[in-house]
Chain A
């Protein structure tokens, strides 16, 4: 299952689907970093609203995406972690330390606009 990546100005928006396999996540990680390079993006928003489960692999992949993108000099914001998914992540002992998160896409964009003082 492909994850659509949308280009909105200097921001790339990746929208996760419910049933992503490890292979899909790995592919997305590479795809996102390549597109950040290609479009000289300043930020990436990963929208996980539709994700039903965030297990250890998914969390680790998200952290890796954020770190790789930071090495490119761009920002990552994870948006839309559902309350029950957040609860399960905490029980499982998973964290997204050092990765920016926001309530939803709108808040994520607002956070980035504030951070970069740019307009879309």
Chain B
């Protein structure tokens, strides 16, 4: 098992598929169950989709992380896009999704264990999430 990190450049819809496949593979290597690997892959898919929809390009960084007596996966989505003017609004359920396009951030938060978002209008957005192995 490598402790290395994987960076996936996100420039097109095809990259969304690669990012979630790499994420699932890493989650499986870390020892996550198929169910949890699916949750992680789904979260990665949504984060990568936000990059393509709102920022056009960015990257997803996947990394194995060690906590106290536990292992997990860290997924960081960064872009240099327009940023999110009102994060609180973006974090409200049903703000942009209800199954539509992108910005399913409250959903991503439910899929993962830890969720952090930083965004500066005009400079970009960083969404950092983690999930710990049960």
- Min Cβ gap B121→A in Å is 24
Q: Are B35 and A87 in contact (CB under 8 A)?
A: yes
A55 contacts chain B at the CB level, 8 A cutoff: yes
The one of B21, B97, B98, B111 that contacts A88, using a Cβ cutoff of 8 Å: B111
Q: How many residues of B contact A (CB 8 A)?
A: 30
Q: Are A52 and B39 in contact (CB under 8 A)?
A: no
Cα of A83 to Cα of B35 in the assembled complex, Å: 8
Cα of A20 to Cα of B16 in the assembled complex, Å: 10
A85 contacts chain B at the CB level, 8 A cutoff: yes
Q: Are B35 and A52 in contact (CB under 8 A)?
A: no
Hey, which chain A residues are within 8 Å of B14, CB to CB?
21, 23
Q: Are B21 and A91 in contact (CB under 8 A)?
A: no
In the complex, the chain A residue whose C-beta lies closest to that of B36 is A84
Q: Mark B10-28, 1 if CB is under 8 A from A, else 0.
A: 0001101100110010000
With A52-B38, A53-B38, A88-B39 already in contact, the answer to whether A93 and B93 are too (CB < 8 A) is yes
Contacts A55-B49, A56-B46, A88-B38 supplied; 11 other A-B pairs, CB < 8 Å: A21-B17, A23-B14, A52-B24, A53-B42, A55-B42, A57-B101, A84-B35, A92-B46, A92-B107, A93-B94, A93-B106
